[in-house]
Amino acid sequence: MSETILAVDDDIDILELIQMSLDAEGFDVITANDGMSGLEKARAHSPDLILLDLMMPVMDGFEVIGKLKADEQTRAIPVIMLTARAQTHERVQGLHAGADDYVTKPFDLDELTARIEAVLGRTLPTKYINPLISTMGDWFTEEGVEQLASHLEAAAMIQQNLIPKKAPNLPGFDIAGFLRSSMTVSGDFYDFIPLDNNRLGIAIADVRGKGIPAALLMVMIRTTLRLICREETSPAAVLKRINDLLAIDTDPDLFATMVYAILDSAANTFTYSSAGHCYPLHLKNGGTEVDELKEGGMLLGIFEHAAFELETIPLAPGDEILLYTDGVTETERQVDETFYGEERLAALLQSNSDQPAETFCQTIETALFDFSGTDHRDDDVTIVVIKATNGKE
Amino acid sequence: MFETSISHNNVPVLRIDGKIIGGAANALKREMDKQIEQGKGGLVLDMAKVPLLDSSALGIIIATLQFLKKMNAKLVLLNPQHTVLDVLQVTRLNTILEVYSDEESATSAFGS
């Protein structure tokens, strides 16, 4: 995407020259020939950078900088001053007022482009930090940021402690979980809850959004789950109770997807219900077939009286269940913006059926890394693998 | 990314062009709010040119749907691509969102 440059100068010839040359460099150029309309265009178009002549009639460049920096909306836009060679004093004054750099007239076009590139590169972080600053308002002091950072770290610690540290021991099954968060705190979680000697509750969930709001909702869901999972015998009933609670207490655009299942090692069954979550995969018939498990109901937290269905799957030795969040299937390949997708995941499951559950979690993570071509993650990645070994390890 | 036209029976049709992921969801919210403020009875979202949407976009659409319901108004989708339909199916949002494949039926869903 090309960057937008606003050029403000009362000299029409200079504006035209700037427009022509920056156009040729691939920038989008907007022009204004006095300070007032420059300000208006800065507010209307939120350009990525402003080239500003200092000496203009009526409203001069200093006044424009002052007004730009006083307005939250335009404060972060970098400004390069256009000054005459003799105006050393004005240059300094401009830099003090908040300009980022200056170019002296008559200027060399290559120099102008180089300055623009440099300033755009330098201010990129500001572009991302600025929305944070406006959210934080008065908190944006050094102490405020420090305090917030330490709270965030503490929150991340609490959250990490909520994720099971090791896979539970259930006779006849090999189980593993994996979570890789894209930010300090996460909206994903998985949980293993022993219900009795034979039965294990297994949950995986993805809360909409990221960061602290998502993490708070995640904790709320996990707490509710832990409180009610022993009272209810059916996964569908568990989801229904969590849903009803969230639907009353949260905004309609706050929601989560979740699968809750009970793995029964005496009956060798997997009974699950899904609330709008990506379909779990079931590897069966000696590894020759992969089924999508689609039973369930609506996303959690939207409708107060949503209904959930459940299904019981018999597990034969060699069968596998793969639960995951959309961070897995929506991992994007950088070169062509293609998603990893369910088909690749199913193929990976089939071709690695000999791996222990924990190894297979790593295999998926490596495959996603290789596929995307980057270590950067836009979304949390969470995986739970359940293998029916039934004695054969 | 957005373009709005008014159908012959006075329903605003918001045409979206491009993926609705990340910050685009907020832009969509602003645009829908604007149309709702001006329009009456609801909104048609033309999704024909939307290859993809993420959970933020879903959140915005759900919130708007719920808001309009309270006002006795509607939000309907027009021509979503199969990738978007898949998302609606997995999340079961297809059970609460009306989906149409031509503009005539989408706008006449509003009655008069």
Query: What pLDDT score was predicted for residue A128?
Result: 44
Query: What pLDDT score was predicted for residue A145?
Result: 64
Q: Which long-range contacts (CB under 8 A, 24 or more apart) does A367-371 make?
A: A367/A340, A368/A328, A368/A331, A368/A340, A371/A331, A371/A333, A371/A340, A371/A344
Among A116, A139, A162, where does a domain finish? A139
Query: What pLDDT score was predicted for residue A240?
Result: 95
Average pLDDT, rounded, for chain A: 86
| Structure confidence by residue, pLDDT tens digits, A86-129 | 667 777 788 888 888 888 887 778 888 888 887 887 554 444 44
> With 50 as the cut, is the pLDDT of residue A131 above it?
no
- Could you list the residue range(s) of the whole structural domain that residue B85 is in? 2-108
Query: What pLDDT score was predicted for residue A370?
Result: 92
A134 is a domain residue: yes
Distance from the Cα of residue A367 to its chain's centroid: 20
The whole-angstrom separation of Cα A363 and Cα A376 is 18
Among A103, A81, A105, A104, smallest CA distance to A94 is for A81
Least confident span in A65-69, B54-58, B82-86: B54-58
Q: How confident is the model at residue A373 (pLDDT cuts 50, 70, 90)?
A: confident
Q: How confident is the model at residue A217 (pLDDT cuts 50, 70, 90)?
A: confident
- A with B: how many residue pairs have Cβ under 8 Å apart? 47
Averaged over A10-15, what is the pLDDT? 88
The whole-angstrom separation of Cα B108 and Cα A288 is 48
The whole-angstrom separation of Cα A283 and Cα A330 is 21
Number of domains observed in the structure of chain B? 1
Looking at the structure, tell me whether residues A89 and A189 fall in a common domain. no
Supply the CATH number for residue A332's domain.
Answer: 3.60.40.10
How does DSSP classify residue B5? E
Query: What pLDDT score was predicted for residue A141?
Result: 60
Q: What residues are paired with A203 via a beta bridge?
A: A191, A260
Looking at the structure, tell me whether residues A268 and A344 fall in a common domain. yes
Supply the CATH number for residue A47's domain.
Answer: 3.40.50.2300
Looking at the structure, tell me whether residues A158 and A129 fall in a common domain. no
Q: How far is A219 from chain B (nearest CA, A)?
A: 19
Query: What pLDDT score was predicted for residue A210?
Result: 65
The one-letter amino acid at A168:
P
Averaged over A145-156, what is the pLDDT? 73
Looking at the structure, tell me whether residues A132 and A187 fall in a common domain. no
Query: What pLDDT score was predicted for residue A391?
Result: 54
Query: What pLDDT score was predicted for residue A137?
Result: 52
Looking at the structure, tell me whether residues A123 and A179 fall in a common domain. no
The whole-angstrom separation of Cα A210 and Cα A186 is 6
Query: What pLDDT score was predicted for residue A7?
Result: 95
Which of A253, A259, A300, A376 to mutate against chain B (most B CBs within 10 Å)?
A253
The whole-angstrom separation of Cα A280 and Cα A294 is 8
A9: alpha, beta or left, given left = phi > 0 and alpha = psi -120 to 50? beta
| Of B60, B93, B95, Cβ closest to residue A253 | B60
Number of domains observed in the structure of chain A? 2
Q: What are phi and psi of A318, to 5 degrees?
A: 95, -15
> With 50 as the cut, is the pLDDT of residue B90 above it?
yes
> With 70 as the cut, is the pLDDT of residue A139 above it?
no
> With 80 as the cut, is the pLDDT of residue A1 above it?
no
A11 is a domain residue: yes
Query: What pLDDT score was predicted for residue A142?
Result: 62
- Listed in sequence order, the residues at least 6 apart from A1 whose beta carbon sits closer than 8 Å to its beta carbon are none
Question: pTM of this prediction?
Answer: 0.69
Query: What pLDDT score was predicted for residue A364?
Result: 96
- B 32-91 residues inside an 8 A Cβ radius of A: 54-56, 58-60, 62-63, 66-67, 90-91
Query: What pLDDT score was predicted for residue B17?
Result: 92
Q: Nearest chain A Cα to B58, which residue?
A: A253
Q: How far is A276 from chain B (nearest CA, A)?
A: 4
Supply the CATH number for residue B50's domain.
Answer: 3.30.750.24
Which of B32, B90, B95, B96 to mutate against chain A (most A CBs within 10 Å)?
B90
A146 is a domain residue: no
Query: What pLDDT score was predicted for residue A86?
Result: 65
A147 is a domain residue: no
A335 is a domain residue: yes
Among A377, A386, A26, A13, smallest CA distance to A188 is for A377
| Structure confidence by residue, pLDDT tens digits, A323-338 | 999 999 988 888 888 8
Angle at A387 between CA A385 and CA A391, to 5 degrees: 150
Looking at the structure, tell me whether residues A255 and A181 fall in a common domain. yes
Query: What pLDDT score was predicted for residue A127?
Result: 43
| Of B55, B95, B96, Cβ closest to residue A208 | B55
| Structure confidence by residue, pLDDT tens digits, A20-57 | 888 888 889 999 989 999 999 999 999 999 999 988 88
Percent of chain B past pLDDT 90, that is, above it, reads: 30
Quick check: B59 and A206 CB within 8 A? no
Query: What pLDDT score was predicted for residue A130?
Result: 46
Looking at the structure, tell me whether residues A117 and A249 fall in a common domain. no
Looking at the structure, tell me whether residues A172 and A119 fall in a common domain. no
Query: What pLDDT score was predicted for residue A212?
Result: 74
Asked if B96 is an interface residue toward chain A (Cβ–Cβ < 8 A), one would say yes
| Structure confidence by residue, pLDDT tens digits, A337-353 | 888 999 999 999 999 99
| Structure confidence by residue, pLDDT tens digits, B24-77 | 888 888 888 888 887 667 899 999 999 988 888 888 898 898 888 888 888 999
Question: Strand, coil or helix: what is B7?
Answer: coil
A181 is a domain residue: yes
Percent of chain B past pLDDT 70, that is, above it, reads: 96
Query: What pLDDT score was predicted for residue A134?
Result: 47
- Could you list the residue range(s) of the whole structural domain that residue A197 is in? 153-388
Q: How far is A330 from chain B (nearest CA, A)?
A: 9
Least confident span in A128-137, A197-206, A233-242, B98-107: A128-137
For the record, the structure tokens of A55 come out as 């000496």
Helical (H) or strand (E) element with B112 = none
Helical (H) or strand (E) element with B49 = strand B42-49
**A235 vs A113: which has the higher pLDDT:** A235
Please confirm whether the linkage preceding A106 is cis (ω < 30° from 0): yes
A168: alpha, beta or left, given left = phi > 0 and alpha = psi -120 to 50? beta
Spell out which chain A residues touch chain B, with contact meaning CB-CB distance below 8 angstroms. Answer: 206, 208-209, 251-255, 257, 276-279, 296-299, 302-303, 326, 330
Sign of the alpha-carbon dihedral angle for A35, A38, A40, A46: negative
